[in-house]
């Protein structure tokens, strides 16, 4: 049988969503960003909301997220994405508005913006990538860096006396009345990625129900920053990151 005879629409069981552009990703091999981008693109595609979606990218490795997902994008200053999203959604309540932010962006320089967007109950989706390190600037300590973890600015390991404790955002914002859905997911296995995708879809759906902010934290790897192979990084994440940042739903006001 000829290969061309098999390539028919009725035989397709999997395809790359057209919402993921053909641009070659700048992310390191093994990085979680690519998988998260893919499942977000699939959710937007499956919901049929490309023409109603406005995305906001951060400063960090995913600053160029707008090169990969085929929706309208705003590129925010470091940490300010929730402020942009607030006005975008309030002025355009019929649109799906989401921010995509790393741990430096959201949990350090942008703490005020995320806390207040949560507190006001903005009807937006926040995707929070927590890999415990600043990837783009070369592997410095992030607010979510674990104690003992070595980074470029904690070369002897994070020391609570010297560097403070890891910042745990999700349970903190769960206490705010303005949040509707808070969950912590990962994408290191196919099963995990499927669960993360379902959570992202729920978050998008909730953002149209006028019930407040939906927050999907993805505990992620940065194998380059962690100086590990992708496989080692996944293993290290499961053994160490999940202990401090356990997966699962933290808040769901509709349950």
Residue 54 engages other proteins in binding (rule: CB under 8 A):
yes
Residue 127 engages other proteins in binding (rule: CB under 8 A):
no
Cite the beta strand spans of the chain per DSSP E: 53-57, 72-75, 96-102, 125-130, 133-134, 140-141, 179-186, 213-219, 248-252
Instruction: Report the residue from 22, 51, 191, 239 that binds other proteins according to the rule CB under 8 A.
Output: 51
Q: Are 163 and 169 in contact (CB under 8 A)?
A: no
- Site of tokens 């600037």: 137
Instruction: Report the residue from 32, 86, 131, 214 that binds other proteins according to the rule CB under 8 A.
Output: 86
Residue 114 engages other proteins in binding (rule: CB under 8 A):
no
Residue 73 engages other proteins in binding (rule: CB under 8 A):
yes
Identify which range of 33-41, 70-78, 180-188, 224-232 contacts other proteins by CB under 8 A.
70-78
96-102 vs 53-57, strand pairing mode = parallel
Comparison of 127 and 219: residue with beta carbon closer to other proteins = 127
Q: Are 199 and 183 in contact (CB under 8 A)?
A: yes
CA distance 72 to 53: 7
Helices and strands, counts by H and E, the chain: 11, 9
Residue 195 engages other proteins in binding (rule: CB under 8 A):
no
CA distance 155 to 148: 10
CA distance 123 to 112: 17
Q: How far is the CB of 204 from other proteins (least distance, A)?
A: 14
Instruction: Report the residue from 32, 35, 62, 88 that binds other proteins according to the rule CB under 8 A.
Output: 88
Residue 169 engages other proteins in binding (rule: CB under 8 A):
no
Identify which range of 44-52, 135-143, 162-170, 240-248 contacts other proteins by CB under 8 A.
44-52
CA distance 15 to 101: 27
Identify which range of 4-12, 90-98, 186-194, 209-217 contacts other proteins by CB under 8 A.
90-98
CA distance 206 to 112: 23
Residue 91 engages other proteins in binding (rule: CB under 8 A):
yes
Comparison of 26 and 194: residue with beta carbon closer to other proteins = 26
CA distance 36 to 196: 8
Backbone angles phi, psi at 247, to 5 degrees: -80, 155
- Closest among 131, 123, 142 to 242, alpha carbons compared: 131
Identify which range of 35-43, 109-117, 135-143, 207-215 contacts other proteins by CB under 8 A.
109-117
Residue 56 engages other proteins in binding (rule: CB under 8 A):
yes
Residue 23 engages other proteins in binding (rule: CB under 8 A):
no
Q: How far is the CB of 214 from other proteins (least distance, A)?
A: 18
Interface contacts to other proteins, rule CB under 8 A: 50-54, 56, 63, 66, 70-77, 80, 83-88, 90-92, 95, 112-113, 115-116
């Amino acid at each position: 049988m000829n290969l061309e005879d098999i390539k028919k629409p009725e035989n397709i069981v999997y395809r790359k969503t057209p919402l993921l552009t053909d641009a070659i990703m700048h992310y390191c091999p093994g990085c979680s960003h690519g998988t998260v981008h893919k499942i977000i693109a699939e959710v937007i595609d499956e919901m049929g909301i490309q023409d109603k979606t406005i995305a906001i990218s951060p400063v960090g490795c995913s600053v160029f997220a707008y090169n990969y997902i085929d929706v309208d994008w705003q590129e925010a200053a470091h940490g300010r994405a929730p402020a942009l999203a607030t006005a975008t959604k309030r002025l355009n309540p019929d649109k799906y508005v989401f921010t995509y932010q790393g741990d430096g962006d959201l949990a350090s320089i942008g703490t005020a913006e995320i806390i207040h967007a949560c507190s006001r109950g903005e009807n937006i989706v926040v995707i929070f990538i927590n890999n415990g390190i600043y990837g783009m600037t070369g592997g410095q300590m992030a607010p979510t860096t674990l104690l003992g973890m070595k980074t470029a600015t904690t070369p002897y390991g994070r020391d609570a006396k010297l560097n403070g404790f890891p910042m745990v955002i999700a349970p903190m914002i769960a206490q705010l009345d303005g949040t509707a859905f808070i969950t912590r997911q990962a994408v290191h296995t196919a099963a995990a990625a499927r669960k993360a995708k379902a959570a992202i879809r729920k978050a998008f759906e909730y953002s149209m129900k006028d019930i407040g902010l939906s927050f999907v934290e993805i505990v992620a790897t940065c194998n380059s920053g962690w100086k590990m192979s992708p496989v080692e990084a996944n293993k290290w994440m499961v053994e160490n990151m999940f202990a401090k940042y356990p997966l699962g739903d933290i808040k769901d006001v509709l349950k």
